[in-house]
Protein backbone atom coordinates (compact mmCIF):
# COMPACT_ATOMS: atom_id res chain seq x y z
CA UNK A 1 0.00 0.00 0.00
CA UNK A 2 1.28 3.49 -0.84
CA UNK A 3 -0.53 6.77 -0.32
CA UNK A 4 0.69 10.35 0.10
CA UNK A 5 -0.34 13.88 1.03
CA UNK A 6 1.23 17.28 0.43
CA UNK A 7 0.58 20.58 2.23
CA UNK A 8 2.13 24.00 1.85
CA UNK A 9 1.09 26.48 4.50
CA UNK A 10 2.28 29.76 6.04
CA UNK A 11 5.00 29.40 8.68
CA UNK A 12 2.79 30.73 11.44
CA UNK A 13 2.00 29.39 14.90
CA UNK A 14 -1.63 28.81 13.95
CA UNK A 15 -0.51 26.38 11.21
CA UNK A 16 1.02 24.00 13.76
CA UNK A 17 -2.27 22.49 14.99
CA UNK A 18 -3.59 22.15 11.44
CA UNK A 19 -0.47 20.34 10.23
CA UNK A 20 -0.23 18.13 13.32
CA UNK A 21 -3.85 17.00 13.08
CA UNK A 22 -3.79 16.59 9.29
CA UNK A 23 -0.76 14.29 9.39
CA UNK A 24 -2.28 12.30 12.27
CA UNK A 25 -5.56 11.97 10.36
CA UNK A 26 -3.68 10.86 7.26
CA UNK A 27 -2.04 8.04 9.23
CA UNK A 28 -5.44 6.65 10.31
CA UNK A 29 -5.58 4.30 7.33
CA UNK A 30 -2.90 2.20 9.07
CA UNK A 31 -5.09 1.92 12.17
CA UNK A 32 -2.46 3.16 14.65
CA UNK A 33 -2.87 2.99 18.40
CA UNK A 34 -3.70 6.14 20.34
CA UNK A 35 -0.11 6.19 21.63
CA UNK A 36 1.27 5.99 18.09
CA UNK A 37 -1.00 8.85 16.99
CA UNK A 38 0.19 10.95 19.91
CA UNK A 39 3.83 10.16 19.02
CA UNK A 40 3.28 11.37 15.46
CA UNK A 41 1.47 14.51 16.61
CA UNK A 42 4.21 15.38 19.10
CA UNK A 43 7.05 14.90 16.58
CA UNK A 44 5.26 16.85 13.85
CA UNK A 45 4.43 19.61 16.31
CA UNK A 46 8.09 19.97 17.29
CA UNK A 47 9.26 20.04 13.66
CA UNK A 48 6.70 22.67 12.66
CA UNK A 49 7.46 24.78 15.73
CA UNK A 50 11.15 24.76 14.76
CA UNK A 51 10.18 26.11 11.33
CA UNK A 52 8.01 28.84 12.80
CA UNK A 53 10.49 29.93 15.48
CA UNK A 54 13.87 29.54 13.76
CA UNK A 55 13.60 29.39 9.96
CA UNK A 56 12.30 32.83 9.13
CA UNK A 57 13.59 35.03 11.93
CA UNK A 58 15.04 37.56 9.47
CA UNK A 59 12.05 37.50 7.12
CA UNK A 60 8.49 38.62 7.58
CA UNK A 61 6.81 35.60 6.02
CA UNK A 62 7.70 32.09 4.95
CA UNK A 63 6.17 28.73 4.19
CA UNK A 64 6.29 25.18 5.46
CA UNK A 65 5.89 22.20 3.15
CA UNK A 66 4.71 18.90 4.60
CA UNK A 67 4.84 15.66 2.65
CA UNK A 68 3.66 12.43 4.23
CA UNK A 69 3.65 9.02 2.63
CA UNK A 70 2.43 5.64 3.73
CA UNK A 71 4.65 2.80 2.60
CA UNK A 72 3.50 -0.63 3.73
CA UNK A 73 3.13 -0.29 7.53
CA UNK A 74 5.14 2.93 7.91
CA UNK A 75 4.46 6.62 7.74
CA UNK A 76 7.25 8.75 6.32
CA UNK A 77 7.02 12.48 7.03
CA UNK A 78 9.07 15.25 5.42
CA UNK A 79 8.78 18.78 6.82
CA UNK A 80 10.62 21.48 4.89
CA UNK A 81 11.13 25.18 5.42
CA UNK A 82 12.78 27.60 3.01
CA UNK A 83 14.43 29.80 5.61
CA UNK A 84 17.93 30.39 6.93
CA UNK A 85 19.09 26.79 7.45
CA UNK A 86 21.10 25.41 10.38
CA UNK A 87 24.76 26.36 10.72
CA UNK A 88 25.82 23.14 12.46
CA UNK A 89 23.31 20.29 12.28
CA UNK A 90 25.36 17.97 14.50
CA UNK A 91 25.40 20.59 17.23
CA UNK A 92 21.70 21.37 16.71
CA UNK A 93 20.81 17.70 17.19
CA UNK A 94 22.44 17.59 20.62
CA UNK A 95 20.12 17.99 23.62
CA UNK A 96 19.65 21.46 25.09
CA UNK A 97 21.30 23.27 22.17
CA UNK A 98 19.47 26.40 21.03
CA UNK A 99 20.34 29.39 18.90
CA UNK A 100 17.55 31.45 20.46
CA UNK A 101 18.83 32.77 23.77
CA UNK A 102 16.36 35.65 23.85
CA UNK A 103 13.38 33.51 24.86
CA UNK A 104 12.77 30.45 26.98
CA UNK A 105 13.75 27.73 24.51
CA UNK A 106 14.80 24.37 25.96
CA UNK A 107 16.73 23.17 22.91
CA UNK A 108 15.17 19.70 22.99
CA UNK A 109 12.99 19.76 19.85
CA UNK A 110 15.08 17.30 17.84
CA UNK A 111 15.53 15.10 20.91
CA UNK A 112 11.76 14.96 21.34
CA UNK A 113 11.25 14.14 17.65
CA UNK A 114 13.83 11.35 17.83
CA UNK A 115 12.24 9.87 20.96
CA UNK A 116 8.78 9.58 19.38
CA UNK A 117 9.76 8.39 15.89
CA UNK A 118 11.69 5.33 14.69
CA UNK A 119 14.02 7.38 12.51
CA UNK A 120 14.95 11.06 12.22
CA UNK A 121 17.29 12.89 9.88
CA UNK A 122 17.87 16.59 9.35
CA UNK A 123 19.54 18.25 6.39
CA UNK A 124 20.09 21.70 4.97
CA UNK A 125 18.53 22.22 1.56
CA UNK A 126 20.67 23.22 -1.40
CA UNK A 127 18.82 26.51 -1.89
CA UNK A 128 18.21 27.36 1.76
CA UNK A 129 16.09 26.01 4.54
CA UNK A 130 15.96 22.71 6.35
CA UNK A 131 14.27 19.38 5.76
CA UNK A 132 13.35 17.08 8.63
CA UNK A 133 12.65 13.46 7.66
CA UNK A 134 10.87 11.18 10.12
CA UNK A 135 9.65 7.60 9.92
CA UNK A 136 7.44 5.51 12.18
CA UNK A 137 6.33 1.91 11.87
CA UNK A 138 2.64 1.61 12.76
CA UNK A 139 2.30 -2.15 13.14
CA UNK A 140 0.62 -2.86 16.45
CA UNK A 141 2.70 -4.84 18.91
CA UNK A 142 0.86 -7.54 20.86
Q: Which regions in the chain score pLDDT beneath 50?
A: none
Residue of 16, 50, 63, 114 marked catalytic:
50
As a whole number of angstroms, the distance between CA 39 and CA 119 comes to 12
Look up 105 and say whether it is catalytic: yes
Q: DSSP of 64-111, one letter per residue?
A: EEEEEEEETTEEEEEEEE-SS--S-HHHHTSTT--S--SS---S-HHH
135 tagged catalytic: no
Annotated catalytic residue, options 16, 20, 46, 114: 46
The pLDDT score that the predictor gives to residue 101 is 54
Domain boundaries, the chain: 2-137
Write the CA distances from 84 to 3, 18, 55, 73, 116, integer angstroms. 31, 23, 5, 34, 26
Q: Tens digit of pLDDT for each residue in 92-116?
A: 555 555 555 555 555 566 778 888 9
pLDDT at position 124 is 86
- The helix/strand count (H/E) of the chain reads as 4, 5
CATH number assigned to the domain covering 2-137: 3.30.565.10
Write out pLDDT tens, residues 57-70: 777 689 999 999 99
Cα torsion at 29, 74, 10, 48 (round to 10°)? 120
Query: What is the per-residue pLDDT for 61?
Result: 83
Q: What is the pLDDT of residue 131?
A: 92
114 belongs to the catalytic site: no
pLDDT at 99: 56
What is the rounded distance in angstroms from the CA atom of residue 127 to the CA atom of residue 16? 24
Could you tell me which residues come within 8 angstroms of residue 80 by beta carbon, excluding any fewer than 6 positions away? 64, 65, 66, 67, 125, 129, 130, 131, 132
Q: Which of 105, 124, 135, 137 is catalytic?
A: 105
Task: Check residue 105 and give its pLDDT.
Answer: 53
Amino acid sequence: MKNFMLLRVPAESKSEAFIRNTVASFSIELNPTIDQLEDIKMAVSEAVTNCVVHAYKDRIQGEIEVFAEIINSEIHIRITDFGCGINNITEALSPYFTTDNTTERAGIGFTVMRSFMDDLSVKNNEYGGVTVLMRKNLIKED
